[in-house]
């Protein structure tokens, strides 16, 4: 689909939770033209170097597609660092399918989300989702952080930090802000340990947020980034490239794609209400598509990740499907089948 707004995905989580490993996988496998804003600690660009060497774009574009911000905690340097970096990337928006922001782990997600509504950029982007990585092995051993010493050093040495939030408070904020939580290093956990970790994440975060296991950063890219262009169908497939000899069933998750295309009158408010209800019942990860409302000249573009609902009116390509009067054309990615039938029966 040819949306003019650029999706912005925020990836957060503490040092060692697996953010860079996830990004390397996404950049290599997503088949999208992505740019990355990396919020590093200090002047040593280790994360940036790891991303630059994964071969996701031509060598002469790497320095333009990966922006390293190392002046400190990103949520505390929004105006000085983040907004100018975003404005520079958006000058090339016609060459990009999406922007990923990797926070340092000390950043509070909410100020970044508010910054996306800055007047200079808000009409050009939308929040594609906040993905929080949790070190499952560390949490199973009683701490949200695997290397507490390194985190405390970051807090002590980062002069830009204007929020003295305790580790547990930062962890809760990351979870509450998340549209999707990924439990990394899940291959090291027993069924019982994973269940306990998942329960702890639900307890500290949002109980309806979807939680998925992940190992070695591998996950179906569309789960994180959404469906790109006219990629309306992905087959029912395992979302992890896992070892089939692995004994842990919790590391095997099916992502189910369903196409919802109907011609009937739809009220915008009712539509949102129905979709939010289905998100909870069918563990819907993402919804993307359009709704044609009677009396409106342009279709309503719809983007959802979990319960985060984005919509705006925008034209479509001449060759795109259109109903005769009113209707809906959506694709959903979920963990439970039956979304299409449930949607139809709701009207």
Helices (H), 116-258: 136-140, 148-157, 167-177, 191-204, 221-225
For 55, the 3-state DSSP assignment is coil
Res. 1: pLDDT tops 60: no
For 17, the 3-state DSSP assignment is coil
- The mean pLDDT value for 160-177 works out to 78
Residue pointed to by tokens 């949607």? 343
Res. 185: pLDDT tops 60: yes
Q: Using one digit for the tens of pLDDT, what is the confidence trace for 192-222?
A: 999 999 999 999 998 889 999 999 999 999 9
- The mean pLDDT value for 237-257 works out to 53
Q: Which of 92, 298, 308 is nearest to 209 (CA)?
A: 308
- pLDDT score of 62: 65
- Contact between 184 and 18 under an 8 Å Cβ cutoff? The reply is yes
Burial string for 16-26 (b: 16+ CB within 10 Å, else e) reads: bbbbbbbbbbb
Express as a percent the part of the chain with pLDDT over 90: 49
Task: Please state, in angstroms and as integers, the Cα–Cα distance from residue 223 to each residue in 28, 33, 98, 192, 251, following that order.
Answer: 15, 16, 14, 25, 15
Q: Using one digit for the tens of pLDDT, what is the confidence trace for 316-331?
A: 888 889 999 999 999 9
**What is the pTM assigned to this prediction?**
0.84
- pLDDT score of 233: 42
The DSSP 8-state label assigned to residue 57 in this structure reads S
Point out the least confidently predicted range of 1-5, 68-72, 237-241, 250-254.
237-241
CA 296 to chain centre: 30
The DSSP 8-state label assigned to residue 279 in this structure reads H
The DSSP 8-state label assigned to residue 275 in this structure reads H
Res. 133: pLDDT tops 90: yes
Domains of the chain from N-terminus onward: 6-236 (3.40.50.300), 254-345 (3.30.1220.10)
Q: Using one digit for the tens of pLDDT, what is the confidence trace for 18-34?
A: 998 999 899 888 888 89
Q: Give the total residue count for the chain.
A: 347
- The mean pLDDT value for 243-263 works out to 69
- Contact between 154 and 116 under an 8 Å Cβ cutoff? The reply is no
- Contact between 154 and 106 under an 8 Å Cβ cutoff? The reply is yes
């Amino acid at each position: 689909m040819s949306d003019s707004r650029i999706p912005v995905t925020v990836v957060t989580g503490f040092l060692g939770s697996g953010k860079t490993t996830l990004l390397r996988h996404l950049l290599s496998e997503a088949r999208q033209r992505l740019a990355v804003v990396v919020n590093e600690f200090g002047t040593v660009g280790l994360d940036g170097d790891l991303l630059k060497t994964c071969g996701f774009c031509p060598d002469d574009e790497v320095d333009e597609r990966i922006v390293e911000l190392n002046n400190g905690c990103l949520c505390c340097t929004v105006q000085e660092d983040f907004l100018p970096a975003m404005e520079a990337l958006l000058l090339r928006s016609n060459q990009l399918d999406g922007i990923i922001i990797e926070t340092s782990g000390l950043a509070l997600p909410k100020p970044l989300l508010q910054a996306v509504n800055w007047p200079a950029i808000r009409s050009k982007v939308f929040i594609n989702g906040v993905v929080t990585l949790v070190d499952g092995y560390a949490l199973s051993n009683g701490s949200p952080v695997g290397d507490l010493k390194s985190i405390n050093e970051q807090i002590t040495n980062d002069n830009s930090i204007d929020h003295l939030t305790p580790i547990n408070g930062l962890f809760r904020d990351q979870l509450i802000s998340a549209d999707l939580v990924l439990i990394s290093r899940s291959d090291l956990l027993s069924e019982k340990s994973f269940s306990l970790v998942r329960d702890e994440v639900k307890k500290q975060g949002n109980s309806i947020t979807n939680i998925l296991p992940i190992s070695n950063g591998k996950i179906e890219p569309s789960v994180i980034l959404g469906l790109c262009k006219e990629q309306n169908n992905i087959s029912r497939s395992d979302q992890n490239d896992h070892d089939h000899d692995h004994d842990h069933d919790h590391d095997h998750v099916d992502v189910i794609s369903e196409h919802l295309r109907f011609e009937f009158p739809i009220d915008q408010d009712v539509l949102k209400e129905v979709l939010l209800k289905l998100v909870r019942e069918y563990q819907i990860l993402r919804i993307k598509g359009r709704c044609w409302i009677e009396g409106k000249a342009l279709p309503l573009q719809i983007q959802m990740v979990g319960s985060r609902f984005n919509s705006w009116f925008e034209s479509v390509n001449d060759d795109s499907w259109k109903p005769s009067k009113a209707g809906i054309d959506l694709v959903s990615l979920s963990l439970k089948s039956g979304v299409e039938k449930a949607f139809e029966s709701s009207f």
